[in-house]
C-alpha cells in the first residue's frame, strides 16, 4: 500500500512538472509583421479590458492544457475565477468572453481567415506564414 501511495505521488509530481514546464505562444493575424506585445497587454486583450490593440481574442476550451498554462502564466487566475469573472461581465452586459474552439487546427483556420484576431497555442505549434508571433511565455 505504501508503495502504491508513493508511486501515485511520484506520477502526480511528474505530471505537474510537465504542465508547469510547458510554454504557450500568442499569435495574431495582423498586418504588422513586427508586432510584439507585453504580458500585461496580452492579459488585457484576453480579459476584455480596454486595450490599445483592436484584436479579437479566441481561446481553446477549458479542457486544454494550453489554456491552463495561459491562465496560470499570463492571466494569473484559476479557470473557476475566470469563469466567474465572465459570468459577471455577461450578466451586467459589459463584455462577452472570447469565442472558444475545440482544437488547435480550428483556431489556426479561424485566425488565418479573420484579420485582427489573436489566440494562444502550445509553444510547439507550427505557425502559418500569415500569422505573427506576438508573445511567448518563459
What is the CATH number for 111?
3.40.190.10
In 3D, which of 57, 68, 46 has the Cα closest to residue 122?
68
Total structural domains in the chain?
1
Q: Answer whether residue 75 is part of any domain.
A: yes
Q: Is 4 buried (19+), middle (13-18) or exposed (0-12) by CB count in 10 A?
A: exposed
pLDDT at 7: 43
Average pLDDT, consecutive stretches of 10 residues, N- to C-terminus, the chain (138 residues) = 47 44 89 85 90 88 94 94 93 91 96 96 94 91
**Cα separation, 34 vs 39, whole angstroms:** 16
- Neighbouring CB atoms inside 10 A of 62's CB total 13
Q: Answer whether residue 116 is part of any domain.
A: yes
Q: Answer whether residue 27 is part of any domain.
A: yes
Q: Whole domain around residue 79: which residue ranges? A: 23-136
pLDDT at 32: 79
* Predicted TM-score (pTM) of this structure: 0.80
Q: Answer whether residue 7 is part of any domain.
A: no
**Cα separation, 126 vs 86, whole angstroms:** 30
Q: Answer whether residue 1 is part of any domain.
A: no
pLDDT at 26: 96
Q: Answer whether residue 73 is part of any domain.
A: yes
Q: Answer whether residue 39 is part of any domain.
A: yes
pLDDT at 2: 53
pLDDT at 1: 55
In 3D, which of 14, 36, 34 has the Cα closest to residue 26?
36
Amino acid at each position: 500500500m505504501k508503495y502504491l501511495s508513493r508511486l501515485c505521488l511520484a506520477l502526480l509530481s511528474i505530471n505537474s512538472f510537465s504542465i508547469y514546464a510547458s510554454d504557450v505562444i500568442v499569435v495574431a493575424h495582423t498586418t504588422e509583421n513586427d508586432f510584439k506585445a507585453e504580458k500585461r497587454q496580452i492579459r488585457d486583450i484576453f480579459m476584455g479590458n480596454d486595450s490599445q490593440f483592436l484584436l479579437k481574442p479566441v481561446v481553446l476550451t477549458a479542457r486544454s492544457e494550453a489554456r491552463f498554462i495561459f491562465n496560470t502564466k499570463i492571466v494569473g487566475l484559476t479557470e473557476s475565477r475566470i469563469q466567474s469573472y465572465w459570468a459577471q461581465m455577461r450578466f451586467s452586459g459589459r463584455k462577452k468572453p472570447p469565442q472558444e474552439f475545440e482544437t488547435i487546427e480550428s483556431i489556426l483556420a479561424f485566425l488565418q481567415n479573420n484579420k485582427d484576431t489573436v489566440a494562444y497555442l502550445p509553444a510547439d505549434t507550427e505557425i502559418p506564414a500569415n500569422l505573427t508571433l506576438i508573445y511567448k511565455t518563459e
